[in-house]
Each structure stands twice: as C-alpha cells, then as structure tokens.
Amino acid sequence: MKAVLLIDFGSTYTKVTAVDLDTEEIIGTSQSFTTIETDINDGLNNAVKLLREKIGDIEFSEQYACSSAAGGLKMVAIGLVPELTAKAAKMASLGAGAKVMKTYSYQLTEADLEEIDEINPDIALLTGGIDGGNKEVIVYNAEMLAKSAKHFPIVYAGNRNCAATCKEILVNAGKDCYVCENVMPKLEQPNIEPAQKQIREIFLQEIVKAKGLSDAEELIGDILMPTPSAMLTAMKLLAKGTKHEEGIGDLVGVDLGGATTDIYSMCQGLPSQSGTVLKGLRETYAKRTVEGDIGMRYSIKGIVEATDIDRVCEISGLDEARAEELIDYLSVHTDVVPNGDEELIMLDKALASLAIETAVARHAGHLEQIFTPMGITYMQLGKDLTQVKKVVVTGGALIHTEKTAEIASYALYSDMQAMSLRPKKADVLVDRKYILAAMGLLSTNYPEAALRIMKKELIKDGNNE
C-alpha cells in the first residue's frame, strides 16, 4: 500500500483524506474543528486521530495540504476599464484561489485607498493598460498604493512599458512588488496564468507564514495552494482529463458553503445560438466566481435579499413569520444543522436552492436583445453554459440531504430568467465524501490517479430528466 494524506485547513473544519495510490481508492476521511486561534496542529492532530480510528495506524508516504483558514487568500484587484483589465484582474485573482474583496477601476481615490487599508488584503493585484497603451492611470495607481499605511505584497501585471517605473515607485515606498506579464497584453485578449502563478507563489512564501499555518510544516511539509485553487484544479482535471485518461467533458461546479457560494465552469462558453454575437472580454475555459453575500449560515440573509422571502416560503412550505424567525436564528447560531427537524430541513432546502439559482445565474452569461435594420439579433455577455451536461456539487447542504438533485436543478435554465445562459439539461454528480479539494492536491503529482478516483467517487444523483 502506498498511502497519501491530503489535508484541507478550512475556516471551520480541518478535513483529512487518506488515499491508497496502489488501488486508487479512498481509504478514509474525517474532520475536526480548525484551531487557527490557538495551534493549528491541534485541529489537524484531532482529525488524523479520528481518521486512524477508522483505518488503523497506516504510515503515509506523502502528505499535502491546502488552506482557506484565517479568511483564506484575500485580495483586491485594480484595473483601468471595468469590462477589460479590471475584469481580467478579478478573473486572475479568483482563478488563483482568492476571495476578491473589492475590484477598482480607473484612478484610485483617497477614499479607495482608505478602503483598501481597511480591507488590508493579503495581496493587491495592480493592472491597467494593454502593452504600449495607457500609462498614466497605472502609474498614478502605483503612486496611490505607495501611500498605503498597510504592508501587503503587490503583484504588477499591467502595461509592460511602465512596469519598471511602477516597481520603482512601490519599492522606494517600502512595498514588496512582484512584476509579471500583463493580464491583457492586447485588447480583449486575457493572459491571466502568469499572474495566477505569481499569486500562488506569494501564498506559499508569505501568507502561509503570516497566518500561522507554517506551524504545521513539520507534519505536512509545504502547503501547496489555497483550497479554492485546489478545487479549481480538480474541476479542470475532471472535465479535461489527461493525455492518458479521458475526462467527463464540460461541467459546472457548485460549492455551497456557510459564508460563500463558489461556482466553477469548465467550457469555452462561446455562443451556441445562431445570430448571437459575443460582446466584451472573452472569458477563460476555467472560470471561478465567489458570491460572498450568499451562504447557508453566515450569509443566510444575503440569500433572501438576493431573491425574495416569498420564494423561500413557496419552496419550504413555511409561512413568512416562521421562515423569518428561523432565518434570524440561523444567522446567529451558525453551527446549527437540521438533525431531523423537518422545518429546518425544508428551510435549508429552499435556501440552498435559491443560493444555487442566484450564484449560477451571476456566474453564467446572459443575452441582450438588439434591434437592427436587419431584424432582431442578440449580444452575449459572459459564458454560454446552455450546452453543459454535468453539474458537480459539493458542500454540506448538498452532501447531507436526500434532495440533492432537486436542489441542484436550480442551477439549470428557467423560463423565469429566459436570457440567462445556464445549462439547459444536465446530470448531477455529488461529492458525497468531500474529496474534490483533496483530489486537486493529489493531482499535482498524480493526475491520472486523482482523475480515476473522482470518476469512481462522484455519484450520479437522482432523476435529472
């Protein structure tokens, strides 16, 4: 047996997964509360102890970890035009596994700088201008960031013709500045991979240490990546496969958490309807978005605000007064799970359904109807997901329910939002053992094994006809 231990330091739970590479099977999983406030090793040791109670005293030949503890990787993204470099900067940050706290466009104001200092991000991504294009704005923004009262690394990924100038401004102000390729060297042609690579390197070098996670190095060696980056890696591998192992094809992934809802799409997303023209920045094959206002507990009220209490009542069968009472209670008692309580079960079903509907609608592209002398035509903004045939779901509210397929169906097209380009018809695959982030980690050295394990473990759920 060649056993590997895969660790995910979450904000609430530290999750461990044991894999046998010889048989390409999950040996066991367990979790324990993350102890970031004291010694992170305590939570890890507790999780490993529970795991060993299930699988015995197995020796692990390798151990890898990812983390979203202590708030995960917090970033701000700064660009020039909202629909172009600012959007590319946000795409790069999200794809690197960050939680983008705010995106800024054009020249930073004094109020913007105060807000950035208040956010105190782990990293700021500074972009703006195609190569050879506008220099004034990004140089101005570098001068503004140089005045920041907080010390955080700055990744410069803008117009290469003023990279040296901006770096000099920031370094002279005592800032750590890392220069990489422009996120948009040519108009509407994103180039986000170099910035993502640099962000991940900073995460390993500085942020792990700053958040106290390096205390666990003795047990795990290096923390390889932020948890959302591990999830994105797993989703991409599952969809595309490898040279030697076929993937399952285009997919949409849903990770429904207590504080946020992360959506992933693995497809080109080009227009599938004749007479439709793509407008704006073409999005990447692998896309991740984070809805920070939508979650099953910490952001429970955000679900209601984004939809309507009437819809919560309609799906749950609860009257408005009772629904609002329970929502208020859960927003304070964030660790409560239904445990057989029928009212809470039905409320969670409604909230999860609406969270998915809202988050996938925000992630997907949409159509705009345009009247021309030749008749009606359509402009597509964002990705067309209508032809995607697989929806992969994870997260406690989706794993620990018998209504997973019914809840996940809210990710699909609806006549109520006819211009939204969500999948029209798809099978639901469920990550019942919560292994996706672990498989993203495993894939760094064993991609074929990770892919085959995912294909075995992800369960097709329910009747999705």
- For 376-407, write each residue's pLDDT tens digit: 888 999 999 999 999 999 988 888 888 899 99
* CATH no. of 3-70+216-221: 3.30.420.40
Residue closest to 7 by CA, chosen among 23, 31, 38? 31
Structure token digits, residue 459? 């369960």
pLDDT above 70 (res 30): yes
CATH, domain 74-206, list 3.30.565.10, 3.40.190.10, 3.40.50.2300, 3.40.50.300 = 3.40.50.2300
Alpha helices of 294-341 — where are they, by DSSP H?
Answer: 300-306, 309-316, 320-332
List pLDDT tens digits, range 236-247: 999 999 999 999
Phi, psi of 433 (to 5 degrees): -95, 5
Q: Are 270 and 278 in contact (CB under 8 A)?
A: yes
Terminal-to-terminal C-alpha distance of the chain: 41
Percent of the chain with pLDDT over 70: 92
The β-bridge relationship of strands 459-460 and 427-430 is antiparallel
DSSP character string of 28-80: EEEEEE--TTS-HHHHHHHHHHHHHHHH-SPPEEEEEEEE--TT--EEEEE-S
pLDDT on residue 465:
37
Dihedral class, residue 340 (left if φ above 0, else alpha if ψ from -120 to 50, else beta): left
Residue closest to 448 by CA, chosen among 238, 227, 230? 238
Domains 3-70+216-221 and 74-206 share a fold: no
Summary mean pLDDT of the chain: 89
Structure token digits, residue 364? 């997907």
List pLDDT tens digits, range 135-156: 999 999 999 999 999 999 999 9
List pLDDT tens digits, range 259-314: 889 999 999 999 998 888 888 788 889 999 888 888 898 889 999 999 989 999 99
Residue type, 333: H
The β-bridge relationship of strands 286-291 and 261-266 is antiparallel
8-state DSSP, 312: H
DSSP character string of 170-237: HHHTT--EEE---S-SBTTB---HHHHHHHHHHIIIIIHHHTTGGGGHHHHS-EEEEHHHHHHHHHHH
pLDDT above 60 (res 462): no
pLDDT-based confidence at residue 463 (cuts at 50, 70, 90): very low
pLDDT on residue 41:
72
What is the average pLDDT across 102-121? 95
List pLDDT tens digits, range 176-207: 999 999 999 998 888 999 999 899 888 877 76
Whole-number Cα distances in Å, 30 to 15, 47, 123, 377, 441: 6, 6, 32, 53, 17
Q: Which residue has the tokens 């999750």?
A: 15
**pTM for the full predicted model:** 0.85
pLDDT above 80 (res 220): no
The structural domains of the chain, with segments of one domain joined by +, span 3-70+216-221, 74-206, 236-293+363-460
